[in-house]
Structure formats: structure tokens, C-alpha cells
Structure 1
């Protein structure tokens, strides 16, 4: 029985490590605006389906590490992760009963909120973005949500038994 929490810890750590790698994996310039917010999507999954596994302190530290990794203003990802994490904590009981496509729509909203905070931080740093391009990652994150959900769900359930 004690091996189960250790396995869960490694699954969570592996999923976040993979998300961090995917967040900096080189893409052609034409696709840079379309990169999904992998770290945020993985955080949303763990908060929705195991809300006590990810703390706000962990989300803050994860966001700061992602800022360093991506070379963006310090605190940009932390702010988005904590705000979205708070909204997820408030809504997880309702949202995890949604269909997968309705969850995808909710992911679009949550990632859109995080992208708005990222855009605000970029503006404060003197690099404002114009247009609606900053919401493209919200769309691609919503589209990859079903794949992410299925993969993490199978990974979690295969190690619980």
C-alpha cells in the first residue's frame, strides 16, 4: 500500500517534466503562436481530478521555473498558474462531470485567462502584444485536452492497481 503514493508522485513529476520539455521544444517560427500551454494543461488535469495533489506553492515554483526556462519576465507563468489553479479549485467538482468536449471549452476559457495575464505582464515589461494572437495557445490547448486527458487518465489508472 505505501508504494501507491510514491508511484503517484513519479507520475505527476513525469507529467510536469514532459510538459516543461514540450513548452520549450523548438518549433518553426510559423507555429510559435500556436504552441499549446502544456504545463498549464497538465496542472489543470491534476487539479480537476486529484485536487489535493498540487498546491499553490508548487504552482508558483513551477511557474517561476517555467519563466526561467522560457526566458520571459519573472512571475509571468506563476501568476497565470495560480489564478487558473484557484478557479480550478472552485470549479473542479462541477467540471470533472462535464463531457470531454465541454471540458475542452472550459480549458479554452482557463488558458485564455492565463494568456491574458501573460499578455498583461508582457505589456508591463514593455513588450505589449497586439491583436488576438495571444489567444491562439488557448485554442490549441483546448484541442489537445482530450488527448492529454486520455493519456494522463490511463497513466494514472494503470499505476493505481
Structure 2
């Protein structure tokens, strides 16, 4: 039970970081905090954290952002699916190589968000939309280190 609360707290923290105000020039490169958190927990605990948790985190993100219902749920489920397919290989890599593997995962998620936004009628700039995937991949080692502190502190296994 306590392990679920720790995972839920980190997801809530990622949701809050996603809506935290940022200066306008930096807002285009806002990291994908929720996707990084979901990917970390799915990679680390695939037997506990999976598609259902990713879907619920995405629904919470949709409600928080006030966007098309199910949009982020689909994207987070896709991120979790890609990580579940690769987690046995990714976990063995050093963090800098994990960043290189996570770049296409986050990039596909951003492209899916672009496609869903264009279906909904809003068309953001294409090149700027891929910037969060690059920033998230660059921040992946630090996000993993931060989440590992929570994992070790509360003995989540």
C-alpha cells in the first residue's frame, strides 16, 4: 500500500510540474514530466506499474490541462507500451544511453500529441513541438536520479 502511495505522489508531482508557470520562451521546451515519471516506474516495476496506471495518469493530465478527454491517456499508454516492450534492454544501459533510447519514445509521444491536436483543430508549430522530447531526453538522467531517491527512501521494490 505504501509503495502505491509513493508512486502516486511522484505522478502527482509530475502533474504539478507540468502546469507550473514558466517564462514564455521556455514554455515551448517544457519537459514531459508525466511521461518521464510513467516511463521510469514502468521500466523499474513492470509487474506493478503498467498500462492501467499510465492511462489513469493520462486522464488526470487531461482533466488538469482541460484538453481533449483521453488525449494524454492515449499518449501515456503508448509511452508505457513502448517502455514495456524495451524495459529489459533499457534497464541494463547506463543513464546516458537510456536517454538516447528515450528520445524516440518521447518523440513519438509528441508526434501523437501533434496529430491529435491537429485533429481537434489546433495546429502548433511542428519543429517547436519536438523540443519537449529533446529536453525530456536530456533531463532523463536527473529525473531518474531524483525518482531513485524516492524509491530508495521509501523502499519501493
User: TM-score when scaled to structure 2?
Assistant: 0.93
Q: Is structure 2 residue 23 aligned with structure 1 residue 28?
A: yes
Number of the residue aligned with 2:77: 82
CA deviations 1:29-84 (Å, max 9, x no partner) are 11111100000100000011111222322222221220121122222211111111
Q: Is structure 2 residue 32 aligned with structure 1 residue 37?
A: yes
CA deviations 1:80-132 (Å, max 9, x no partner) are 11111111111100000011001011121111111011000000001122331
**C-alpha contact 1:35 1:140 (8 A) present in aligned 2:** yes
**C-alpha contact 2:28 2:132 (8 A) present in aligned 1:** yes
Q: 2:141 aligned to 124, 146, 149, which one? A: 146
Number of the residue aligned with 2:113: 118
The unaligned stretches of length 5 or more in structure 1 are 1-5
Whole-Å Cα distance in 2 between the matches of residues 33 and 130 of structure 1? Answer: 10
Q: Which runs of 4+ in 1 moved over 4 A?
A: none
Q: 2:53 aligned to 55, 58, 67, which one? A: 58
Whole-Å Cα distance in 2 between the matches of residues 57 and 13 of structure 1? Answer: 13
User: TM-score when scaled to structure 1?
Assistant: 0.91
Q: 2:11 aligned to 16, 19, 32, which one? A: 16
**C-alpha contact 1:76 1:117 (8 A) present in aligned 2:** no
Provide the aligned length of Structure 1 versus Structure 2.
156
The unaligned stretches of length 5 or more in structure 2 are none
Number of the residue aligned with 1:46: 41
Between 64-73 and 18-27, the greater mean CA deviation after superposition: 64-73
**C-alpha contact 2:114 2:126 (8 A) present in aligned 1:** no
**C-alpha contact 1:35 1:137 (8 A) present in aligned 2:** yes
Whole-Å Cα distance in 2 between the matches of residues 9 and 130 of structure 1? Answer: 38
Structure ID, larger Rg: 1
